[in-house]
Chain A
Amino acid sequence: MTAGTIVTMVITIGVIWGGLLFVLVTALKKERSKEQ
């Protein structure tokens, strides 16, 4: 794998899966605070 491949992999997976994880955690926190 070239450096370009690894950089693209990190950017794509970081933004898509990282973005999903970030939004999911934020939503969980907000939902919990709404319940309280």
Chain B
Amino acid sequence: MSEKKEQFTSRWGMILAVIGIAVGTGNIWRFSRIVAQNGGGSFLIPWVIFLLIWSIPLIIAEFAIGKATRKGTVGGLAMLAGERFAWMGAFVGFVTTAIMFYYSVVAGWCMKYLTSSLSGSLLTTGDYISLWESFTGGYEPILFHAIAMAIGGFVIYKGVVRGIERTNRILIPSLLIILLTLAVRAVTLRGAMDGIAYLFTPNLEMLLDYKVWLAALTQNAWDTGAGWGLILTYAIYARKKEDIALNAALTGFGNNSVSLLAGITIFATVFALAPGEGIKELISGRGSTNTGLAFIFLPQLFGKMPGGTGLQTFFSSIFFLGLTFAAITSLISMIELSVRVFSDLGLERKRALWLTLTLGFLLGIPSALSLTFFENQDWVWGIGLMISGGFIAFAVIKHGADKFRREAINGEGSDVQVGKWYNVIITWLVPAQVFILIGWWFFLAITEFDREGWWNPFHTYSVGTCLLQWGVIMTFFVVINRFMVRRIFQRSTEVS
């Protein structure tokens, strides 16, 4: 594993890698549930709008910061906003790394169900709820979490070109073929058109409901990879002549295209194979953190597919293979983010990888053992991502949005010029969306999720638990701010 400066070999290699970041399990299981809960077609219109005013502007910012600074989240934000704000970059990096701890567990769940499906044991199980509960209640998730971390670590060990680029060049097209195969099968099932009609039928009353708009914004914030610091990390390895604006648009539209394809597939399958009660299952979101759909409800439906056991096993297996590919391509980017930050701080890349894998495995174990802990971490760092998006926008504003647009976005290699509209979106709209979203989720915690104990830091879905965990991490990074700056920039000077 060399320390030499690697670059993606082509635009398409880089785009596939970045789409690998954006397309994750959330495109497949969260999108369909949220669409069902928010009135089908009524949700899609704000979802398209927020792609344009949240996701793509932040993806553009991340591409530009990574390419211009050639530093990870800490160094990148420090170079843009000023050394005093290195802690903000550290917070962005930590939030995504904290998500990595439990996301590896999710990747492990997908692998476990893939192996069960391939062996034929999954579809012969009668009680899918018991199967899920006995699996997550045991120690097996730790084994699969370890396997997921090991696979991700191996890819990063191979480097940017032979590891990240090559893996995504294989897995992302494979994932698209899998989704297209599933979509063709789903829409040709009898009754599938009812599901597609539900997905696209607008409910004007719900379109005027602010909750639907907030759900659409949240889906874009969590699902596109914007504001995570991951695209910033991959952009470090962009060629000098690499474009930014078109690549960002390709990422955003590519990600949401996959969500739409997955949505059509799931709605068609649910309405065809479980007419009547299927939509109730989708809306209820049974099981913790979206898992009910993928690990309890869909396996039941695969067992009802026409064509016999062979075809049922085939479609069930490729579904979990697709989920595994989606999870792994996102997981490797999270590992790379952490490795890059440690490398910037002066650690040799190989050691940085071992440190990331060790921490990732150990700190993921509580989520592998306890769904309550898993849900708490998903709550705290899921909302933390919105702060990350805010910090990235802050860095751009602090640097000067117009200067950033002219020099970093429209600089060398740009295929299209981004206009002054960008200044307005990144300076006003993105920060406004951050405040509205965090305020909204806290409002829900106080009024719905945990009315009595919303302040209690030891409750799973409380405001207190967010404030405590964010506070501890932010304080730590503020304290070591000067140390981080010295390590990163002293090393850069020595290297140059």
- Interface pair A16/B253, CB less than 8 Å apart: yes
- Interface pair B254/A26, CB less than 8 Å apart: no
Stretch at the interface among B229-237, B243-251, B440-448, B462-470: B243-251
- Closest-by-CB residue of A relative to B12 is A31
Q: Count residues of chain A with CB under 8 A from any CB of chain B.
A: 23
Q: Count residues of chain B with CB under 8 A from any CB of chain A.
A: 25
Over the window 1-34 of chain A, the binary record of Cβ atoms lying under 8 Å from chain B Cβ atoms (1 yes, 0 no) is 1101111110111011101100110110011001
Residues of A close to B202: CB separation below 8 A = 4-5, 7-8
Tell me the smallest distance from the CB of B10 to a CB of chain A, in Å: 8
> Given contacts A4-B201, A5-B197, A30-B243, are A23 and B253 in contact (CB under 8 A)?
yes
The binding surface of chain B is classed by DSSP as: helix
- Interface pair A8/B41, CB less than 8 Å apart: yes
- Interface pair B41/A24, CB less than 8 Å apart: no
Instruction: Give the docked Cα–Cα distance between A4 and B40 (Å).
Output: 12
- Interface pair B44/A12, CB less than 8 Å apart: yes
Is B416 engaged at the interface, CB distance under 8 Å to the other chain?
Answer: yes
Contact of B48 among A6, A16, A23, A26 (CB under 8 A): A16
Listed residue (B200, B241, B246, B256) with the most chain A CB atoms within 10 angstroms of its CB: B200
Instruction: Give the docked Cα–Cα distance between A7 and B45 (Å).
Output: 11
- Interface pair B201/A19, CB less than 8 Å apart: no
Residues of A close to B348: CB separation below 8 A = none
- Closest-by-CB residue of B relative to A14 is B48
Instruction: Give the docked Cα–Cα distance between A2 and B200 (Å).
Output: 10
Contact of B250 among A7, A9, A23 (CB under 8 A): A23
**Hey, which bits of chain A sit against chain B, CB under 8 A?**
1-2, 4-9, 11-13, 15-17, 19-20, 23-24, 26-27, 30-31, 34
**Hey, which bits of chain B sit against chain A, CB under 8 A?**
11, 41, 44-45, 48, 51, 193, 196-197, 200-202, 241, 243, 246-247, 249-250, 253-254, 256-257, 260, 415-416
Besides A1-B193, A5-B202, A31-B11, 18 more A-B contacts (Cβ < 8 Å) are A4-B41, A5-B197, A8-B200, A8-B201, A8-B202, A9-B196, A9-B200, A11-B45, A12-B260, A15-B48, A16-B253, A16-B260, A17-B257, A20-B254, A23-B250, A26-B415, A27-B246, A30-B416
